[in-house]
Amino acid sequence: MNPTLECMMKRKSVRAFEDRPIGPEEKQAILQAAMRAPTAGNSMLYSILDVTDPTLKEKLSETCDHQPFIAKAPMVWVFLADYRRWVRKFQQAGCENIPNPRLSDLILATNDAVIAAHSACVAAESLGIGSCYIGDIIEQWEEHQKMFQLPPFVAPVSMLVFGYPTQLQKDRRQTSRFPQKMIVMENGYHDLTEEELQEFYPDDKAQAFYNRKYVSDFAWEMDRSTQEILKNWEGK
């Protein structure tokens, strides 16, 4: 296995960090890797918020489902789907009848942002720096909009926290993944059989997952917040 594949295969989420800063050279290398990520039409429909203010990090640890380790992370980046830069450029260039960004543009920009985020994730891993994705940045839109002065046509879609993992985190067992046959389909979608669904996830665990994730309070808040994000994206 080559070093790139080995790095990707050993990666796991890290939620406890050494009290050790990430140096400027390492930080710049991770940023450069993120910005070399594939992007739709080389348009780079995203921006990266480098959250260095301890007060803002503390607030994020509360607004993102009360996770204290966020405030302790040496490096916190919020990835924004961002079409505002292009809309303003179209205006400056004298383009006429410019429509507001559409839902399709949000999906495209979200792809760009998340691809950049994962490029940063892999780059950090290669340097011995752990990371954890924080999906809860999609919640509490009004609070995050105020915190980061987010204008129309800009939407927070992902967040990563970085740091050097503690020894306990290094030693922690890596979580498993579903079998490939449950995920990879050839030439068209097909539903799993009843037997395969049982193999995919036992009923008792599925019920617990349903209550803990799918219909939890934070899931409904994420849905509400996402609808407000969409309004801001469409300039409403």
**pLDDT tens figures, 121-165:** 999 999 999 999 999 999 999 999 999 999 999 999 999 999 999
pTM for this structure? 0.96
Give Dmax (Cα) for the chain. Answer: 60
Residues 6+ apart with CB under 8 A from 219: 213
Q: What is the per-residue pLDDT for 219?
A: 95
DSSP assignment of 150-213? --TTEEEEEEEEEEPBPHHHHHSPPPP---HHHH--SSS--PPPHHHHHHHS-HHHHHHHIIII
CA–CA distance, 159 with 134 (Å, rounded to integer): 5
Q: Give the start-to-end residue ranges of the domains of the chain.
A: 3-233
Across the chain, mean pLDDT equals 96
Distance CA 55, CA 230 (A): 27
Q: Residue 236: pLDDT above 90?
A: no
Residues 83-114 pLDDT 10s: 999 999 999 999 999 999 999 999 999 999 99
236 CA to centre of own chain:
25
pLDDT-derived band at 1 (thresholds 50, 70, 90) equals: confident
* DSSP class per residue in 2-68: -HHHHHHHH--B---B-S-PPPHHHHHHHHHHHHTS--GGG---EEEEEE--HHHHHHHHHHTTS-T
- In degrees to the nearest 10, what's the CA dihedral of 162, 163, 164, 170? -60
**Cα 144–44–125 angle (5° rounding)?**
75
Q: Do residues 31 and 120 lie in contact, with contact meaning Cβ atoms separated by under 8 Å? A: yes
> pLDDT above 70 covers what percent of the chain?
100
As a whole number of angstroms, the distance between CA 164 and CA 20 comes to 7
The helix or strand, by DSSP H or E, that contains position 116, with its residue range, turns out to be helix 103-126
Taking CA atoms, 219 is separated from 143, 203, 211, 226, 232, in Å, by 17, 21, 10, 10, 20
pLDDT at 59 over 90: yes
Enter the DSSP assignment of 79: E
Indicate the pairing of strand 130-133 with strand 75-82.
Answer: unpaired
* Fold of domain 3-233: NADH Oxidase (3.40.109)
